[in-house]
Amino acid sequence: MSVLDLTGLVTAVVTPFREDESIDHDALGEYVEYVLSFDRVKGILASGYSGEGPGMSRSETLDVARTVIAAAAGRVPVLVGVSPTSTTETIDFGRRLRDAGASALQINSPFYSLLRRGFLYEDDVAVRFFDDLAEGIGLPMTVFQYPTASGLTYPPRVVSRLSENPLVIGFKEAVGMETYEADFQAIAGRKKIYADNNTYTLISMLLYGSDGSMVGVGNVGLPHWVELNRLVEEGDTAGVVAFANEKIVPIINTFSRDLGQTRFSFIARVKEALVQLGRIPNGTVRRPEPPVSDEDRREIRQTLESVGLL
């Protein structure tokens, strides 16, 4: 694939597990095939948060990447989520993903490191980290802004400097609207910006301006997310708001509500919806993620029925 085009809808796919929590690679390949039956899906993100990447070993993540890459078969780019440890280890793992055929890497915020503790006072550390990854791996990268999970938000001045890195192709923004607007201005059209907020703020991001979305809740009711994307691309603001209120907001309210603050497992609910829709065979999540309750199942079914998915 000569040009890496990630403009539009990128689906952050789930990772199906068997009841013993082992990866069901056959189900994963079949699910990717379903996702790619929609022409407006322009990319796949494997082993992100929605794919339970942080709960996998490096070898498992590599195996998941290989399965998704094989299933995509060159039809769309495949990004792979990477939770960094040291720079050296991240480069080593990034090279393995590159050699497996990954199109790009989504670089999550490094946890428990100087970048988390000290970035406000030493911008060069964050910039150097991405420079080192670019030189050491040689793959395009998206920068994941997800402060709820990581405790880290790169400030706009760092976002601006990261936009100068030739291999940083975009920013995935799981942030509030104020931060999104500041980052949008800092990027200044030099790189892509992707909306990723599992609350109604997502609609505000899309209408404010974005190059697409990478959102975990988008696994639920993919036809509706495809239609939302179409309305956004056509600039139909009234249509976006009306459709979102009718079809998207009920999904958001059931599966995510407050960004990262739900009392239930977001990913367990998403998987249960996919089971009820017949898209994956098993809704198992890896512990310590809690499974869905009977109450969860009833609420999910009611929502799927109310938005016309069942």
pLDDT at residue 168 in the model = 97
Count CB atoms within 10 A of the CB of residue 232: 24
pLDDT at residue 261 in the model = 62
Give the separation between CA 279 and CA 34, rounded to whole angstroms.
8
The closest alpha carbon to 210, from 231, 178, 233, 243, belongs to 233
Measured in degrees and rounded to the nearest 5, phi and psi for residue 76 equal: -140, 160
Q: Which amino acid is residue 158, in one-letter code?
A: V
Give the separation between CA 3 and CA 193, rounded to whole angstroms.
17
- pTM value? 0.94
Pick the CATH number of 8-219 from 3.60.15.10, 3.40.50.620, 3.20.20.70, 3.40.50.720: 3.20.20.70
What is the DSSP pairing of strand 78-82 with strand 41-46?
Answer: parallel
pLDDT at residue 283 in the model = 97
Measured in degrees and rounded to the nearest 5, phi and psi for residue 103 equal: -80, -35
CB 13 within 8 A of CB 219: yes
pLDDT at residue 137 in the model = 98
Count CB atoms within 10 A of the CB of residue 270: 27
- pLDDT tens string, the chain, 310 residues long: the values are 445 878 999 999 999 999 999 999 999 999 999 999 999 999 999 999 999 999 999 999 999 999 999 999 999 999 999 998 889 999 999 999 999 999 999 998 775 555 555 555 578 888 999 999 999 999 999 999 988 777 778 999 999 999 999 999 999 999 999 999 999 999 999 999 999 987 889 999 999 999 999 999 999 999 999 999 999 999 999 999 999 999 999 999 999 876 556 677 899 999 999 999 999 999 999 999 999 999 999 999 999 999 999 9
